A = this chain, B = another copy of it.
Amino acid sequence: MANGGGDDGDCAQRDDAARAAWLYYVGGMRQDRIAEEMGISRQRAQRLVARAAQDGLIRVRIDHPIGACLDLERQLIRRFGLKLARVAPSLGGQGDSIKALTPVAAAELERLFATKEPQIIGLGTGRTLRAVVENMQSVDGRHHKVVSLIGNVAPDGSASFYEVVMRFADRTGAAHFPMSVPVMARDAEELSLYRSLPHVRSSRELAQTAGKVIVGIGQMEDDAPLFVDGFITAEELASLRAAGAAGEICGHVYDADGRYLDHGINRLMVGVRVPESSDATICIAGGDKKIKALRAALKGGLVASLITDELSAQALLSS
């Protein structure tokens, strides 16, 4: 009985890992017991368990909103007039904000996605969003549509590494509408060219009707993602900052009051601009560097809901 036996060579490994992990985590067995059970060596059992964890087969959730975080959520909602706030416990002093908020955000997205009635969901890009989507469980969302709010082609012509629509669709089976054009046009002419492309037009239209919009936030420090990823030059970054740039959502740059700048860069973004004071916008962001950008976005009502981590929430509230 121990092992299923005649599996297909390739998948069997993964299966074994899952089974070992199941015995370990759910069954609460010791590794040598598992080894015995499955007819393998202790080391192999250990490796399987480790591998399952490694491969992200294991999903741990804490079923208890830590009081302090609940408190922060309430404060955020009141202070910034949010529709919803979710605060993940931080992972200590210098712990990674993204790592902390990722599981919480992933759970929230799963919840969002678990509805039966079809939804249209707009998605931004970025490291944070990507990490979150990677952490989602596979839920069945074949009846939903996910549409990219922003081009997915980097300046060098490569597909953006932080594109999430595809990954999202992978996990959920949702119909997906990437926006396969550059993030930014080089001039007004190119912009109208891109925008006139049928698939871009339909993606943009779909995005406008999205019932939920999920975005990250970009900061404007020296390592602003727009700059680091090569979308804008150092000079353009400086110019944006001179114009009062505080942060950026889907490439659209806004000032410290959360008002979109009237700046050349902003006029060349091919994607859609997240509307001010829409109920639909959910922002997932955290970390020291993004506080300024986040605060501005909140002030301007650019986002309706916020998922962040404890330290960031504290920073946002302490001022």
| A interface residues (Cβ-Cβ under 8 A, vs B) | 1, 4, 7-8, 11-12, 14-15, 17-19, 21-23, 25-27, 29, 33-34, 37, 52, 56-68, 71, 89, 91-93, 95, 99-100, 103, 111, 114-117, 137-138, 311
| Chain B residues, Cβ within 8 Å of A33 | 92
| Chain B residues, Cβ within 8 Å of A37 | 92-93
Contact of A93 among B1, B58, B63, B99 (CB under 8 A): B1
A59 nearest CB neighbor, chain B only:
B61
Given A7-B68, A59-B63, A60-B59; A91-B25 close (CB under 8 Å): no
| Chain B residues, Cβ within 8 Å of A52 | 62, 64
Given A26-B100, A99-B27, A103-B26; A64-B60 close (CB under 8 Å): no
| Chain B residues, Cβ within 8 Å of A103 | 26
**Contact across chains for B27 and A91 when beta carbons are under 8 A apart:** yes
* Cα of A68 to Cα of B3 in the assembled complex, Å: 9
**Contact across chains for B92 and A18 when beta carbons are under 8 A apart:** no
**A144 nearest CB across to chain B (Å):** 13
Task: Contacts A4-B71, A58-B62 known; list 9 others, CB within 8 Å.
Answer: A4-B68, A8-B67, A15-B68, A18-B62, A18-B64, A22-B91, A23-B92, A26-B91, A59-B62
Contact of A63 among B15, B57, B92 (CB under 8 A): B57
**A131 nearest CB across to chain B (Å):** 13
Q: How many copies of the chain does the oligomer comprise?
A: 2
Given A26-B91, A27-B100; A4-B67 close (CB under 8 Å): yes
| Chain B residues, Cβ within 8 Å of A58 | 60-63
Contact of A91 among B4, B23, B68, B89 (CB under 8 A): B23
| Chain B residues, Cβ within 8 Å of A63 | 56-59, 137-138
* Cα of A26 to Cα of B66 in the assembled complex, Å: 14
A12 nearest CB neighbor, chain B only:
B67
Given A59-B61, A114-B111, A117-B116; A66-B25 close (CB under 8 Å): no
| Chain B residues, Cβ within 8 Å of A311 | 1
**A246 nearest CB across to chain B (Å):** 26
* Cα of A311 to Cα of B92 in the assembled complex, Å: 43
A3 nearest CB neighbor, chain B only:
B68
Contact of A57 among B1, B21, B64 (CB under 8 A): B64
